[in-house]
Amino acid sequence: MVGAGWDIVLADALSSPTLRVVGTGSAILGAVSGALGCFALLRRQSLVGDAVSHAALPGIALVFLLTGTKTSLGLLTGAALAGWLGMLFVQAIVRTTRLDDDTALGLVLAVFFGFGLMLLTFLQRKPKASQAGLDTYLFGQAATMLREDVVLLSCVGVVLIAIIALFWKEFILITFDREYASTVGYPVHRLEILLTVLLVGAITLGLRTVGVILMSAMIVAPAAAARQWTNRSHRMVGLAALFGAIAGASGAILSSLVPNLPTGPTIVLIATTWALASLLIGGRRGLVWQWLRRRVLQRKLAEEAVLIGLYDLALAHGDERRGHSEGAIRALSPHAVGVRGRLRRLKQEGMVEETSPGSWILSKKGRDEAKHLVEKSRETS
Amino acid sequence: MNSSLQQQSMLDDKPAVEVSDLTVAYHSRPVLWDVDLTVPRGVLMAIVGPNGAGKTTLLKSILGLVPVAAGQVLIFGKPLAQQRHLVSYVPQRGSVDWDFPTTALDVVIMGLYRQLGWIRRPGSRERRKAMEALEQVGMSSFARRQISQLSGGQQQRVFLARALVQNAQLFFMDEPFQGVDATTERAIIEILRQLRSEGKTVVVVHHDLQTVPEYFDWVTLINVRRIACGPVCQVFNEKNLRAAYGGRVAFIVEQQTEGC
């Protein structure tokens, strides 16, 4: 596989109608789940995606058990209904007991998913092996995606995105400040239900390709990555849709090319790798940049402390030309380690002079700077 | 401006807020018990009381944000549902996630969403109005800042601007002075006085007893029950403070019966 012409395989892939279908379908599901995932993430409801997707499994199995259908439309309708039922259970548990959201979500997730697995096992024991294919909903399978599936995906996807666009400002308002939205007269509860319906819809779209177990990652990962690269909500949603689409398409195509590579894990691996990279290096929020900025600031503060130390020494002795040893400076500095390095850097900047080896004084420039720093600190305190 | 004056004169005869027999309970523990309250038009009123006295709950139940066990609230003589366009709310700063991906200007524009109606997008007219409100609170140069990059006091002023832009008659503010810098405190007080001079009514949950006589002309003392409600010079006295705070009043009110 490797070596002998990946380029040819790739060129074949791009011209293959099957792969074009698979790629398009997976890109759409990635885009929709990425966009709606932003709202779940900003509302701190990432776990909801997990609960909904796991809760969908018994819906799929029950629809097959009762009707014998294996069409996407039938099975996914069952999935959506079961996911929605799971959400209603969560709300009922939170309302009537003292359990909190997380506990209720965990409970519903486990009970529904367990029931779904039981149904799948039961179906497997039946003769005729008619359930063949249902278990692809666990980890997803892109390769068998048909044109009709993509048409269905596109239609539902367009509807979901259109509703977000239509109620954009209302959704943003209830996400940012729910109570305020309520005081100006918005039907906040109904808008929240609509948003949850959309989320269930987006998750359902992905079940066929990504599978119930990992679908929640497609809700969280593109949104978390996008948050790193922008500080504006509409750009965040756009970027999350883009990241989701890229992860969906590339993962699905890769898994169709490599035998026995499951689709769901491949897509999710790509999406989460990008999310991780974004957390580390993304925009001003990137952890690496934050760490570097903190280091630069620390170094600057330590150098200022050395300048102020020398300034205080000069004042205490009443003699600006008298040199001071590193030991004396170290005693006055809150950062004792590394004083020598700081003195050398300050010398390069022309702030201090070394009168004789190991003996330091402030230059004219350094004295002005130190005076300025002392005055500034006096003002703020 | 003209329509706003008309709006005011039409409402002249009714008090801004009338609360009667209000009771609120969480898990069968009463938080507010049988509270009666009348806020006349055009006053700056502080709601004071010890921690857990139900100050925020009182504000939220007037605004219909918490379920009420019993009682009635009238805003300019009518139920809140008919008067929402006259009411503006400044929540506690800590009630939202300031890391939200949005700018100061966009937060202020949120105050215009309801006037704008469903589906329609804010345009240049809304941006201009929001900029004026930011100008009023001294924050116009921070309009494009992401809100997490603002200080606590600046965030509070953005919230205030969002309420101002609604052009309401009645303002409810929950602890607007909590943890803000001196500049912000002065800016807020300035705006409160300006609102009063325009005949508007402001109700503020307040923590600092020292500043009550200086900032407000009307005060409500509560501790689950209503202790007193009236002009500061009449009801803000040691007897009522002791009734509200028990023995914990560390501060004695100076004589201020004069000038009432």
Tokens linked to A239: 């970027």
Taking the CA of residue A118 as centre, how many other CA atoms within 13 Å lie in the half-sphere pointing to its CB?
A: 7
Tell me which of A42 and A355 has the higher pLDDT. Answer: A42
The closest CB to that of B102, out of A44, A167, A232, belongs to A232
Mutate to test the interface with B, among A169, A188, A232 (most CBs of B within 10 A): A169
DSSP secondary structure code for residue A11 in this structure? H
Separation CA A364–CA A353 (nearest Å): 10
pLDDT exceeds cutoff 50 at B257: no
- Strands, E assignment, chain A: 352-356, 359-362
Q: How far is CA A209 from CA A28, A52, A216, A324, B52, in A?
A: 11, 16, 13, 72, 52
Q: How far apart are the first and last CA of chain A?
A: 69
What is the structure's pLDDT at B11? 52
Question: CA A364, A367, A370 angle in degrees (round to 5)?
Answer: 150
- B-chain CB neighbours of A231 within 8 Å are 101-103, 146
User: Cβ of B119 and A166 within 8 Å?
Assistant: yes
Closest-approach residue (CA) in chain B for A162? B119
Identify the CATH number of the domain defined by range A289-380.
1.10.10.10
Backbone angles phi, psi at A344, to 5 degrees: -65, -40
The closest CB to that of B96, out of A172, A177, A184, belongs to A177
CA distance A33 to chain B (A): 19
Tell me which of A272 and B51 has the higher pLDDT. Answer: A272
Mutate to test the interface with A, among B62, B85, B113 (most CBs of A within 10 A): B113
Q: Of all residues in chain A, what percent are helix, strand and coil, respectively (each to 5)?
A: 80, 5, 20
Residue B121 touches chain A, beta carbons under 8 Å: yes
b/e code B6-34 from CB counts within 10 Å (16+ = b): eebeebeeebbbbbeebbbbeeeeebbbe
DSSP secondary structure code for residue A192 in this structure? H
What is the structure's pLDDT at A244? 96
Q: Indicate if A289-380 has the same CATH topology as A6-285.
A: no
The one-letter code for the residue type at A48 is V
Class of domain A6-285: mainly alpha
User: Cβ of A42 and B118 within 8 Å?
Assistant: no
Rounded percentage of chain A residues whose pLDDT exceeds 90: 45
pLDDT exceeds cutoff 80 at A7: no
- B-chain CB neighbours of A185 within 8 Å are 81, 84-85, 114
Residue B118 touches chain A, beta carbons under 8 Å: yes
Closest-approach residue (CA) in chain A for B111? A184
Closest-approach residue (CA) in chain B for A164? B119
pLDDT in tens, B195-236: 999 999 999 999 888 899 999 999 999 999 998 899 998 888
Tell me which of A120 and A332 has the higher pLDDT. Answer: A120
Tell me which of B55 and A378 has the higher pLDDT. Answer: B55
Backbone angles phi, psi at A45, to 5 degrees: -125, 35
State chain B's mean pLDDT as an integer: 88
What is the structure's pLDDT at A276? 95
Structural contact between residues A36 and A216, judged by C-beta atoms closer than 8 angstroms: no
**Mean pLDDT, range A183-201, rounded to an integer:** 94
CA distance A45 to chain B (A): 14
State chain A's mean pLDDT as an integer: 87
**Strand pairing of B29-39 and B170-174?**
unpaired
Tell me what ipTM this predicted complex has.
0.90
What is the structure's pLDDT at B102? 95
Separation CA A133–CA A144 (nearest Å): 10
Q: Which of residues 163-222 of B touch A (CB under 8 A)?
A: 166
A78-82, A298-302, A337-341, A348-352: which range is least confident on average?
A337-341
Separation CA A287–CA A243 (nearest Å): 20
- A-chain CB neighbours of B122 within 8 Å are 169
Question: CA B203, B209, B214 angle in degrees (round to 5)?
Answer: 70
User: Which residues 6+ apart lie within 8 Å of B231 measured at CB?
Assistant: B217, B218, B219, B260
CA distance A353 to chain B (A): 39
- A-chain CB neighbours of B85 within 8 Å are 185
Structural contact between residues A306 and A343, judged by C-beta atoms closer than 8 angstroms: yes
What is the structure's pLDDT at B10? 54
pLDDT exceeds cutoff 90 at B13: no
Residue B5: pLDDT band with limits 50, 70, 90:
low
CA distance B83 to chain A (A): 10
User: Cβ of B101 and A184 within 8 Å?
Assistant: no
DSSP secondary structure code for residue B101 in this structure? S
Question: CA A305, A307, A313 angle in degrees (round to 5)?
Answer: 100
The SS3 call for residue A167 is: coil
**Mean pLDDT, range B14-35, rounded to an integer:** 89
Tokens linked to A256: 């169709």
Mutate to test the interface with A, among B65, B83, B115, B145 (most CBs of A within 10 A): B65
CA-closest candidate to residue A241, choices A14, A77, A54, A39: A39
The closest CB to that of A169, out of B95, B97, B121, belongs to B121
Q: Which of residues 1-30 of B touch A (CB under 8 A)?
A: none
- B-chain CB neighbours of A180 within 8 Å are 89, 91, 110, 162
pLDDT exceeds cutoff 70 at B2: no
Residue B1: pLDDT band with limits 50, 70, 90:
very low
Residue B113 touches chain A, beta carbons under 8 Å: yes
User: Cβ of B101 and A233 within 8 Å?
Assistant: yes
Taking the CA of residue B251 as centre, how many other CA atoms within 13 Å lie in the half-sphere pointing to its CB?
A: 7
- A-chain CB neighbours of B96 within 8 Å are 176-177
What is the structure's pLDDT at A1? 44
**Mean pLDDT, range A247-253, rounded to an integer:** 92
pLDDT in tens, A312-370: 888 888 777 778 887 777 777 666 677 888 888 888 888 888 888 878 888 888 888 88
Residue B73 touches chain A, beta carbons under 8 Å: no
Tell me which of B146 and A339 has the higher pLDDT. Answer: B146
- A-chain CB neighbours of B102 within 8 Å are 172, 176, 231-233
Contact residues of A toward B, CB < 8 A: 42, 44, 166-170, 172-173, 175-177, 179-180, 182-186, 227, 230-233, 235-236
What is the structure's pLDDT at A20? 85
Q: Where are the domains of chain A?
A: 6-285, 289-380
* Helices marked H in chain B: 2-10, 55-62, 80-83, 104-109, 113-116, 124-136, 152-164, 182-197, 212-215, 232-235, 238-245
Q: How far is CA A265 from CA A132, A148, A211, A241, in A?
A: 20, 24, 9, 19
Residue B79 touches chain A, beta carbons under 8 Å: no
Q: Is B27 left (phi over 0), alpha (psi -120 to 50) or beta?
A: left
Separation CA A352–CA A366 (nearest Å): 6
Q: Is B230 left (phi over 0), alpha (psi -120 to 50) or beta?
A: left
Closest-approach residue (CA) in chain A for B159? A180
Structural contact between residues A310 and A369, judged by C-beta atoms closer than 8 angstroms: no
pLDDT exceeds cutoff 80 at A10: no
Tell me which of A303 and B157 has the higher pLDDT. Answer: B157
What is the structure's pLDDT at A143? 78
Residue B91 touches chain A, beta carbons under 8 Å: yes
Separation CA B53–CA B82 (nearest Å): 29
Separation CA A162–CA A38 (nearest Å): 16
What is the structure's pLDDT at A354? 83
The helix-helix angle for A215-229 and A263-281 (nearest 10°) equals: 20
pLDDT in tens, A16-31: 787 888 889 999 999 9
The closest CB to that of B110, out of A173, A182, A232, belongs to A173
